[in-house]
Amino acid sequence: MRTPKPLVPILTVRPFRVDDALARGVPRNRLYASDLQRPFHGVRSVTAPGSFVERMRAYLPRMADGQFFSHATAALHYGVPLPLRLERDTRLHVSVIAPTVAPAAAGVVGHRLLTSGVVSWRGFVLADPAATWCQLAGMLSLQDLVAAGDYLLTGPDPLHGIPALVARGDLERAVRAHGNRRGIRSARQALELVRCGPRSKPETLVRLLIVMSGLPEPQLNPSVRMLDGSDKQPDLAYPKIKFGIEYEGEGHREDSALFLRDIERKEAFADIGWELMRVTRAHLQRPSELTARILRRVRKRCQAFAVKTPI
């Protein structure tokens, strides 16, 4: 088998349009050689796009003026936590504003929108975060939509100063601009439940279980003074009855140092009369059992503190 003739260096750096290669004098039959990948119609690359961002980058050569990434594609690039079915979907969502015709290509879900804010963010043109959240309303359950909104309002890493991607007013304006399109009812309902503060999707899911059980909404990450003068913040808490709930990820069991810190943290809260309830992914997979357990614990603490409600 003959070795394909080397491409000009500039075409080996990133995905390129077939028309651009032809304009550089590359023979058409060279562009169909087996050493080149075809991520999208009219696009070639030396390597197959592996990651989600690489697929977005592979689409850029054919991205026309006025097109932008939207829906789940934009959300994933912002870091929004989405269900696995969307994280594993290799298709890209690409939108335009009407009356422009929506893009159509294998591996692309095209959308023609009446309106959308658009921003340039980390190398790509995207629907802005608030518009993206409204677009997700037609794709997600209420709980997942609230978790996405919590993430956008709180920020990717609030503990290390990475700021929020939206303010509540941004979401409110986006919902109004969304009109009566698909998912608007869910967006309006989710907007009432979105909060700034949760540091992970599981924290949001636990909070929603509590609220939907009829209990008052717990505080998010309140500061609690320890005996040594330091402040610690339980994920969710009812300070009035000294009861907190914390989500424990898989890493907490696999990392011995982290496991030890968890024990010491729980003991520090116990020293000041607090009870910390631990919640894991397994508990979230049995929501009815988890809700009943939380209700029992809260009622018991209310009795101990001689109060009718934990707030």
Question: Could you tell me the pLDDT band of residue 245, with boundaries at 50, 70 and 90?
Answer: very high
β-bridge mates for residue 277, sequence order: 245
Q: Taking residues 180-206, what's their average pLDDT?
A: 92
Question: Which one, of 34, 8, 33, lies nearest residue 21 by Cα?
Answer: 8
Encoded tokens for 295: 């209700």
pLDDT average, residue stretch 67-78 = 97
Percent pLDDT > 70 in the chain is 96
pLDDT band for position 157 (50/70/90)?
confident
Q: Is the confidence at residue 274, as pLDDT, over 70?
A: yes
Residue 54 burial (C-beta neighbours within 10 Å; 0-12, 13-18, 19+): middle
Query: Residue 148: how many CB atoms within 10 A of its CB?
Result: 26
Q: CA-CA distance, 24 to 111, in Å (whole number)?
A: 33
User: Rg (Cα) of the chain, in Å, rounded?
Assistant: 25
Q: What is the pLDDT of residue 46?
A: 94
- Residue ranges per domain, the chain? 10-50, 63-193, 201-304
Measured CA to CA in angstroms, residue 119 lies from 58, 62, 152 at distances of 19, 19, 15
Residue 63 has pLDDT above 60, yes or no: yes
Q: How confident is the model at residue 254 (pLDDT cuts 50, 70, 90)?
A: low
Query: Cα 299 vs. chain centroid, distance in angstroms?
Result: 34
Minimal CA–CA distance to 185: which of 193, 173, 200, 175? Answer: 175
Name residue 43's beta-bridge partners: 17
pLDDT band of 151, cuts 50, 70, 90: very high
CATH architecture of 201-304: 3-Layer(aba) Sandwich (3.40)
What is the pLDDT, as a whole number, of residue 115?
Answer: 87
List pLDDT tens digits, range 217-238.
999 999 999 999 999 999 999 9
- Which pLDDT belongs to residue 17? 95
pLDDT at 250: 65
Output the DSSP codes for 136-150. HTTTS-HHHHHHHHH
Across the chain, what does the average pLDDT equal? Answer: 93
Query: Which pLDDT tens digit goes with each residue over 74-98?
Result: 999 999 999 999 999 999 999 999 9
Residues in a beta bridge with 119: 126
Note the pLDDT tens digit of each residue in 196-215. Answer: 999 899 999 999 999 999 99
Lowest-confidence pick of 92-106, 116-130, 150-164, 264-278: 150-164
Residues 100-132: pLDDT tens digits?
Answer: 999 999 999 999 998 889 999 999 999 999 999
Instruction: State residue 251's pLDDT score.
Output: 56
